[in-house]
Amino acid sequence: MAVSITIEKLTKRFGDHAVLKNINARIDAGEIFFLLGPSGCGKTTLLRVVAGLLQPDEGRILAGHLDITHLSPHLRDMGMVFQSYALWPHMTLRQNVAFGLEMRGIKKSELNHRVMRVLEMVKLSNRADDKPNELSGGQQQRVALARALVIQPQCILLDEPLSNLDAKLRLEMRAEIRRICKEAELTAIYVTHDQKEALSIADRMAILDQGNLLQVGSPEEIYERPKTRFVAEFIGETTFIEGRLLKKDNTRAEVETSTGLWTAEIQEPFAEGETVCLSVRPESVRLHTDRTHGSNLFHAQMHGTIYLGDVAQHFVELGGGVTLKALEVRPRLVARDNTVAQIRLFVDPRDVRVLKM
């Protein structure tokens, strides 16, 4: 049965360097929760502290109401899946998956039933007697997942499990991992630096940087309503435009910039006259608009395009030397030269965020 995981005021140091700084988070039972951030941000260290492979210097970890902070890893009822598959090459899939149950002294009849059940769950029951070297990378990762699931953990910990797969297999495995975790009714804590992976699998995610937890929320909340400049830049693409906040009400603000006056959505408390930055996502920019009046309507010059098949990425220069990126879905005609085109564009105020500098 899935269990909630609560992390309270957790700090971890290596020497004088604090790798994790007063981390607080709650992962609900049955939730797929991502730890996301750049290399060195502390996400893998946090996962290893939850697993019991590292001890925190301060704070505690609860599984449900049980304090597991100082429990040995094998007593925490957690399965772990690493970047490397770590499968025994001389054993069959059946034997690899059964290994953890044998160590726990599970009876043969129950052992066989549980092994085949998880192999069916990862769609490899027909390969039970094959060796790992007979499988693709994606299939080997499914075996590693089955091995973690077969002990029936309350929580599964995944440390960049798709990083060794090629791009096509990563796409396939995203949906598979989510399906398997939900089917098994597991709490999952998943570490990655891949934003698309997190956005496509997570129920919620935490963004870390330099040992600090910056924001927790659903993929939609993190992407659409980032609280800091770092979060906005780390999750997806954006253009930042510096300006001065002229006036505001509860949800909207007017910001004067070198490109002109912008209307934007505001979340955090700001003072009128304060220097801020606007975050504008490429998909929010509407090119060749028919609008003739209203907020966030600008004349601009299109200076270049990158054609990517399903989308085209245009580079559009506003006044004040600011260049916006604009995405066009299913582009019909793309100019391959550097001809400068005069256009008019619009950005919905609901798609522009006011952030601290």
Higher pLDDT, 357 or 134: 134
Give me the half-sphere count of Cα atoms (radius 13 Å) on the Cβ side of residue 304.
Answer: 3
Average pLDDT over residues 49-66: 96
Residues 77-110: tens digit of each pLDDT: 899 888 777 889 999 999 999 988 888 888 888 8
Q: What's the CA gap between 157 and 32, in Å, rounded?
A: 10
Q: What's the CA gap between 102 and 155, in Å, rounded?
A: 20
Per-residue pLDDT, 349: 95
Per-residue pLDDT, 65: 95
Please check whether residue 145 is in contact with residue 161, taking contact to mean a CB–CB distance below 8 angstroms.
yes
The per-residue pLDDT of the chain, averaged, comes to 91
Amino acid residing at 63: A
Structure tokens belonging to residue 311: 């989308």
The alpha carbon torsion through 317, 333, 328, 242 (nearest 10 deg) reads 0
Helix (H, G, I), strand (E, B) or coil at 108: helix
Q: What's the CA gap between 190 and 206, in Å, rounded?
A: 10
Per-residue pLDDT, 338: 56
Please check whether residue 39 is in contact with residue 209, taking contact to mean a CB–CB distance below 8 angstroms.
no
Residues 282-334: tens digit of each pLDDT: 999 998 778 778 899 999 998 888 888 888 899 999 988 899 999 988 776 65
Q: What's the CA gap between 205 and 33, in Å, rounded?
A: 5
Confidence (pTM): 0.89
C-beta neighbour count of 220 within 10 angstroms:
9
**Which domains does the chain possess?**
5-229 (3.40.50.300), 237-356 (no CATH)
Higher pLDDT, 69 or 165: 69
Please check whether residue 161 is in contact with residue 85, taking contact to mean a CB–CB distance below 8 angstroms.
no
